[in-house]
């Protein structure tokens, strides 16, 4: 999950899928260790949290908002805030017992707006995940 509004579509899809499977949704926010993209700063400003670089306040705000969407969908939800390289953390998280699949966005925060291509994080997750990865157009 990230601070973009595209995450809403991912959560909605994940909730519908989890509901059909009788499963719960795990919302994972990974605090990356790279430069802060403008989208995160804009989100932090809208949410009234300090964006002084990446920090847990932004990740917590993202997770609270998306957890609220999952609750509206009526699907059990678990949240987790981790730090590190996003694709590596997602692949490690997905290898935990009971994880059935990963839902990823087609394009990430750094994606080119006009070109529909697989974002770098999603591509690495697809290439390395031990479980199926569903890529949702965002």
Q: How confident is the model over 93-111, as pLDDT tens digits?
A: 999 999 999 999 886 554 4
| Within a domain: 103 | yes
| Contact predicate 138/97, CB 8 Å | no
Domain count, the chain: 1
3 state SS of 77: strand
Q: Where are the alpha helices (DSSP H) in the chain?
A: 6-21, 38-47, 56-73, 86-94, 120-128
In which residue are the tokens 């059909």 written? 20
Query: 131 or 84: which carries more pLDDT confidence?
Result: 131
Structure tokens given for 80: 């987790």
Q: What is the largest CA-CA distance in the chain?
A: 40
| Within a domain: 120 | yes
Domain CATH code at residue 92: 3.40.50.620
| Within a domain: 20 | yes
**Weakest mean pLDDT among 5-9, 27-31, 131-135:** 5-9
Enclosing domain of residue 42: 6-136
Average pLDDT over residues 57-85: 92
| Within a domain: 106 | yes
Angle at CA 31, nearest 5°, toward 70 and 43? Answer: 65
Q: How confident is the model at residue 35 (pLDDT cuts 50, 70, 90)?
A: low
Structure tokens given for 104: 């990823």
Average pLDDT over residues 25-51: 73
| Within a domain: 1 | no
Torsion of Cα atoms, 77 then 85 then 35 then 39, to 10°: -30
């Amino acid at each position: 999950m990230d601070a973009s509004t595209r995450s809403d579509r991912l959560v909605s899809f994940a909730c519908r899928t989890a509901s059909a499977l009788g499963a719960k949704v795990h919302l994972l926010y990974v605090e990356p260790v790279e430069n802060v993209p403008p989208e995160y700063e804009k989100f932090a400003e809208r949410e009234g949290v300090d964006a002084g670089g990446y920090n847990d306040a932004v990740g917590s705000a993202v997770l609270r908002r998306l957890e609220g969407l999952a609750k509206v969908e009526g699907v059990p939800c678990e949240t987790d805030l981790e730090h590190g390289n996003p694709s590596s953390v997602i692949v490690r998280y997905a290898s935990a017992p009971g994880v059935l699949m990963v839902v990823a966005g087609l394009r990430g925060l750094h994606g080119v707006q006009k070109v529909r291509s697989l974002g770098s994080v999603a591509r690495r997750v697809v290439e390395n995940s031990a479980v199926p990865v569903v890529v949702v157009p965002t």
